[in-house]
Amino acid sequence: MTGYQEVITDPSYRGQIVAMTYPQIGNYGVNPEDAESAAPHLRALVIGELCEVPSNWRATQPLAAYLAEHRIPGIEGIDTRALTKHLRSLGAMRACVSTELHREAAIAAAQAAPSMTGMDYVHEVSTPHSYHWQEESRCWRLPNSSTGETTSYRDLPPLRHRIIAYDFGLKFNILRRLRQAGFEVEVVNSRTTATEVLAKNPAGVFLSNGPGDPAALGYIHEEIRQLLGKLPIFGICLGNQLLAHAFGGTTFKLKFGHRGGNQPVKDLRTGRVAITSQNHGFAVAPDSLPPELEVTHINLNDGTVEGLRHRVLPVFSVQYHPEAAPGPHDATYFFKEFSELIQSTTHQTLNTKH
* Per annotation, catalytic residue among 139, 161, 237, 258: 237
**pLDDT average, residue stretch 197-210:** 97
Residue 139 known to be catalytic: no
Three-class SS string for the chain? CCCHHHHHCCHHHCCCEEECCCCEECCCCECHHHCCCCCCCCCEEECCEECCCCCCCCCCECHHHHHHHCCCCEECCCCHHHHHHHHHHHCCCCCCCCCCCCHHHHHHHHHHCCCCCCCCCHHHHCCCCCEECCHHHCCCEEECCCCCCEEECCCCCCCCEEEEEECCCCCHHHHHHHHHCCEEEEEECCCCCHHHHHHCCCCEEEECCCCCCHHHCHHHHHHHHHHCCCCCEEEECHHHHHHHHHCCCCEEEEEEEEEEEEEEEEECCCCCEEEEEEEEEEEECHHHCCCCEEEEEEECCCCCEEEEEECCCCEEEECCECCCCCCCCCCCHHHHHHHHHHHHHHHHHHHHHC
Give CA–CA dist 228/309, Å, rounded: 12
Which range is least confidently modeled, 148-157, 180-189, 271-280, 325-334? Answer: 148-157
149: buried, middle or exposed (CB in 10 Å: 19+, 13-18, 0-12)? exposed
Model pLDDT, residue 351 = 45
Contact 319, 237 (CB under 8 A): yes
Question: Is the per-residue pLDDT at 245 higher than 70?
Answer: yes
* 323 counts as catalytic: yes
Taking all residues of the chain, what is their mean pLDDT, rounded to a whole number? Answer: 91
Give residue 147's pLDDT band: very low, low, confident or very high (50, 70, 90): low
pLDDT > 80? residue 154: no
pTM to 2 decimal places: 0.91
Domains of the chain plus CATH, in order, are 4-112 (3.50.30.20), 122-353 (3.40.50.880)
Q: Residue 348: is its pLDDT beyond 70?
A: no
Q: Is the pLDDT of residue 352 over 50?
A: no
Per-residue pLDDT of 93-123, as tens digits, reads 999 999 999 999 999 999 999 999 999 999 9
Active site residue 129: no
Q: Is the distance from CB of 321 to CB of 276 less than 8 angstroms? A: yes
